[in-house]
């Protein structure tokens, strides 16, 4: 059964089986998403998929969900007004302190559910330090730089490879399905990286050669991808796919 930490008393938490319970720690971002999506897009999308996950998860899977951290490392977007960011060291300290708090109360499996690509490398590296520091098992679920969405995108994606990246076909579709009142449909327009980055074999926004880019290096609008291909129907399918895959992952983690 899934439980929200914020809704429990301290006695409720003490009564949980800390050996069996998986603790999910969601983290997202607060950053520009072009002219058509709100600053909170990453956090809102995470919440939509988390809500559906909690609706679908079975009674036999003990899951404790901490409050969502709505700010991440987003300094690549700071040239755009409204973006909030943690410094590298701040994000590390926040995640370390929260995981330390979880470990202090006897839980030994922590799942960091990350919805922002700018957090990815920090969280992946930090997970090993947290394992060493607190003697807990830390897992990072990241949907931007893994194959998390691969199967559903193979079925539904109409845009080219770099059509799904930021304020894109995928994100805009989910926002259309979950928060249609926040999507400015009349401002939707595609935004792609410079042509050289699109045709390169190695130096691209996807790698394998990475670079320390800021968003204006890639796109003047803040959009990286093709939101013109987004639809609410795709968004509903993305949410359902994401929630069901998340449950599969949680069950695998619990079984380890």
How confident is the model over 213-230, as pLDDT tens digits? Answer: 999 999 999 999 999 999
**DSSP category for residue 27:** E
Residue 91 structural domain: 2-255
Measure the CA–CA gap between 38 and 196, rounded to whole angstroms.
29
- pLDDT at residue 256, rounded to an integer: 87
DSSP 93-150: HHHHHHHHHHHHTT--EEEEEE--GGGHHHHHHHHHHHHHHH--EEEEEESSSSSTTH
Summary count for the chain: helices (H), strands (E): 9, 5
Measure the CA–CA gap between 230 and 159, rounded to whole angstroms.
9
CA contacts within 13 A on the Cβ side of 98: 23
Mean pLDDT of 228-240: 98
Which of 167, 174, 171 is CA-nearest to residue 218? 167
Which of 65, 72, 179 is CA-nearest to residue 115? 72
Which pTM was predicted? 0.95
Measure the CA–CA gap between 114 and 43, rounded to whole angstroms.
10
How confident is the model over 82-112, as pLDDT tens digits? Answer: 999 999 999 999 999 999 999 999 999 999 9
Residue 8 predicted with pLDDT over 90:
yes
Instruction: Work out the mean pLDDT of the chain and round it to a whole number.
Output: 95
- pLDDT at residue 167, rounded to an integer: 98
- State the total domains in the chain: 1
The token pair at 233 is: 């129907």
How confident is the model over 130-170, as pLDDT tens digits? Answer: 999 999 999 999 988 889 999 999 999 999 988 999 999 99
- pLDDT at residue 122, rounded to an integer: 95
Q: Assess contact for 130 and 98: CB atoms under 8 A.
A: no
Can you give the CATH number for the domain in which 6 is found? Answer: 3.40.50.10310
Q: Which residues, 6 or more positions from 155, have their beta carbon under 8 angstroms from its beta carbon?
A: none
Higher-confidence residue of 30 and 194: namely: 30
The token pair at 8 is: 């429990």
The pair phi, psi for residue 177, each rounded to 5°, is -80, -40
Per-residue pLDDT band for 198 (boundaries 50, 70, 90) equals confident
Per-residue pLDDT band for 243 (boundaries 50, 70, 90) equals very high
């Amino acid at each position: 059964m899934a439980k929200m930490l914020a809704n429990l008393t301290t006695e409720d938490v003490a009564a949980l089986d800390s050996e069996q319970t998986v603790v999910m720690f969601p983290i997202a971002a607060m950053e520009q998403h072009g002219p058509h999506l709100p600053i909170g897009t990453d956090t809102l999308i995470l919440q939509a998929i988390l809500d559906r996950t909690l609706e679908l998860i079975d009674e036999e899977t003990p899951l404790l969900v901490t409050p969502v951290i709505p700010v991440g490392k987003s300094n690549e977007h700071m040239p755009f007004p409204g973006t909030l960011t943690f410094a590298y060291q701040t994000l590390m300290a926040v995640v370390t302190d929260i995981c330390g708090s979880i470990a202090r109360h006897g839980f030994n499996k922590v799942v960091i559910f990350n919805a922002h690509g700018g957090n990815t490398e920090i969280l992946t590296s930090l997970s090993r330090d947290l394992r060493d520091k607190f003697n807990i098992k830390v897992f990072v679920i990241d949907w931007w730089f893994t194959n998390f969405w691969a199967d559903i995108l193979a079925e539904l994606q109409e845009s080219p490879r770099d059509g799904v990246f930021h304020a894109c076909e995928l994100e805009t579709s989910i926002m259309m399905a979950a928060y249609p009142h926040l999507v400015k449909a009349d401002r939707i327009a595609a935004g792609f990286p410079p042509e050289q980055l699109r045709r390169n074999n190695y130096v691209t926004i996807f790698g394998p050669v990475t670079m320390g880019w800021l968003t204006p290096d890639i796109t003047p609008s803040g959009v990286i991808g093709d939101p013109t291909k987004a639809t609410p129907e795709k968004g509903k399918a993305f949410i359902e796919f994401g929630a069901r895959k998340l449950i599969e992952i949680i069950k695998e983690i619990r079984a380890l």
